[in-house]
Amino acid sequence: MKRLTPFWQVVIEAGFIIFLFYSNLLMGEFERSNSAQGRSLLFALGDIFTPTNIVIAVISALIGTIVIQYLRNKL
């Protein structure tokens, strides 16, 4: 089996962390907004994809990737 280059490994790991971040935000948005108020999926998506959330997601992904790499090298 062919291994990924370190660059692609970091991209995939960071992308997965960003996916989990936005999944969590989306679930929280639906829980908070209540579907009884008539808010739709498009409203929730518009509410969570903000510049601030993107910056937080990228920084969290980089920190998470660094921690994963550190633990992978130690174990």
Which residue segment(s) compose the domain that 58 sits in? Answer: 40-75
pLDDT for residue 35 is more than 80: no
pLDDT at 12 over 70: yes
For the whole model, what pTM was predicted? 0.80
Residues whose CB falls within 8 Å of the CB of residue 4, separated by 6 or more in sequence, listed in order: 12
Instruction: Count the domains in the chain.
Output: 1
Domain assignment of residue 7, yes or no: no
Q: Dump pLDDT digits (tens) for 36-52.
A: 566 677 877 888 899 99
In a domain, 9, yes or no: no
Q: Is residue 69 part of a domain?
A: yes
In this structure, is residue 13 part of a structural domain?
no
Could you tell me which of 31, 25, 16, 21 has the C-alpha nearest to residue 45? 25
